[in-house]
Amino acid sequence: MKRTIIKNASQLVTCSGFKAKKGKEMNDLGIIENGAVVIEEGIIKWVGKTPDIPRQFEKVAEVIDATNKTVLPGFIDSHTHFVFGGYREEEYSWRLKGDDYMEIMQKGGGIVNSVRQTKEASKDYLIRIGMKRLDSMLSFGVTTVEGKSGYGLDYDTEIKQLEVMKKLDIRHKIDVVPTFLGAHAVPKDYKGREDKFIDLMINEVLPHVVDKDLAEFCDVFCEKGVFSLEQSERMLSAAKEKGLKLKIHADEIVQLGGADLAAKLGAVSADHLLMASDEGIREMAKNDVVATLLPGTAFSLRENFARARYMIDNDLAVALATDFNPGSCFTESIPLIIALATLYMKMSIEETITALTINGAAALDKADNIGSIDVGKKGDVVIHEYPSYKFIPYHIGVSTAEKVIKDGQMVYYKYEQ
């Protein structure tokens, strides 16, 4: 039997819970001083104070001493687009010179640029680059990541992206949760025929995604000039009928009503939400939709941040994620997201940690299995190199993750052992 004991933690930050935390609950981190956790066969079997470790667990165990360290659940990055071909570095320089999104599109940039390069990329290339990106995420303490398709906009490439993610989930230590985002943008051939494109996604791509078990979620970019509320509802309703869970890119650029649609359809999460209305926020809270906020994108695009403080104060469960993608947010840096949330989004340190752990898990409908250090959950634990969780945002933009334990096994360490 494989058994690991982590003990003597200055702070064991459990983030304890089995569902999303709302409002004041987000400040409760469930801290145990001089804490310990026992993991057997990848599952957490015991949590408590080090002197109280039951004697039967101390036999035949690998012991990790966390003296003067802080122990947290693994971070959950619940919104990324990490499987893509090529890069768009030139667009970043255009944006710095003042070009807006439409001007960049006219120069041949935007999502269509990544679509072309992803179509050209082989599966082997996407797997290799995907492994490198997951390695980087692991170094920040990420143990579960969501990944979206959406850089294909056709049958072959959408399926290719999802198949690559399925292989990465098997090959890499990080768990990969795949999302079908075929309705990410409107291809040039379908401009003015957006309904026909939704038909293509529903009738030709979606059935294969479901039959081959390539995705857990379906997402859609519900936005002015992309897909309307009606088109988004049609796409998501079809996916829901076939058993996929729902996410939605909502109210990022204009207040279109995507938050309300997420509540109406019972989506697991609605993401971005920079322009979400008060009513949309209330409806999401009422219907237990998680608000996944992506401050790295707002920062990169020099936009206003989503109203995290208002959302939390109105009992909406808030998660945070990187939105790692080749265009608007080319970063997998969890420390950057933590800095933005605490410095610019009026989130407390405790709310920020909750948003990246148990609420990130809830945004993937996995709060019963990951996201906290609770008996019965997966043994995904990160040891941080300082004695208090307050060092995590204090060391601005720098990862404090020293060791990562995935399914009870050490899979990353910052320093030589």
Q: Known binding site for N-formimidoyl-L-glutamate: residues?
A: 151, 325, 327
Q: Do 346 and 398 belong together in one domain?
A: no
Q: Known binding site for 4-imidazolone-5-propanoate: residues?
A: 88, 151, 184, 252, 328
Q: Known binding site for Zn(2+): residues?
A: 79, 81, 249, 323
User: How many separate domains does the chain show?
Assistant: 2
Q: Which of helix, strand or coil describes residue 96? A: helix
Name the token pair of 59.
Answer: 């036999």
What does the pLDDT read at residue 417? 64
57 is in which domain, residue-wise? 3-73+370-413
Q: What is the CATH number of the domain that holds 16?
A: 2.30.40.10
Q: Do 163 and 51 belong together in one domain?
A: no
Q: Do 341 and 387 belong together in one domain?
A: no
Distance separating alpha carbons of residues 13 and 28, to the nearest angstrom: 10
Q: Do 134 and 200 belong together in one domain?
A: yes
Q: Which residues pair with 64 in a beta bridge?
A: 6
Q: Do 27 and 148 belong together in one domain?
A: no
Distance separating alpha carbons of residues 246 and 266, to the nearest angstrom: 8
Neighbouring C-beta atoms of residue 170, cutoff 10 Å: 8
Q: Do 269 and 203 belong together in one domain?
A: yes
Q: Known binding site: residues?
A: 79, 81, 88, 151, 184, 249, 252, 323, 325, 327-328
CB-based burial, 69-104: b 16+ in 10 Å, e otherwise: bbbbbbbbbbbbbbbbbbebeebeeebeeebebeeb
Q: Are 65 and 349 in contact (CB under 8 A)?
A: no
Q: Are 305 and 341 in contact (CB under 8 A)?
A: no
Q: Do 209 and 309 belong together in one domain?
A: yes
Q: Known binding site for Fe(3+): residues?
A: 79, 81, 249, 323
Q: Do 51 and 81 belong together in one domain?
A: no
Q: Do 210 and 296 belong together in one domain?
A: yes
What does the pLDDT read at residue 203? 98
Q: Do 337 and 396 belong together in one domain?
A: no
Distance separating alpha carbons of residues 28 and 50, to the nearest angstrom: 21
Q: Do 293 and 166 belong together in one domain?
A: yes
Q: What is the CATH number of the domain that holds 150?
A: 3.20.20.140
% of the chain residues with pLDDT over 90: 92
pTM exceeds 0.95, yes or no: yes
What does the pLDDT read at residue 112? 83
pLDDT tens profile 35-68: 999 999 999 999 999 999 999 997 878 999 999 9
Q: Which of helix, strand or coil describes residue 143? A: strand
What dihedral angle (degrees, nearest 10) is formed by the CA atoms of 353, 356, 359, 365?
A: -160
Angle among Cα 111, 85, 156 to the nearest 5 degrees reads: 80
Mean pLDDT for each consecutive 10-residue tract of the chain (417 residues)? 94 98 98 98 98 89 95 98 95 88 76 92 98 98 98 98 98 98 95 97 98 98 96 98 98 97 98 98 98 97 96 98 96 98 98 99 98 98 98 98 97 87
Q: Do 89 and 118 belong together in one domain?
A: yes
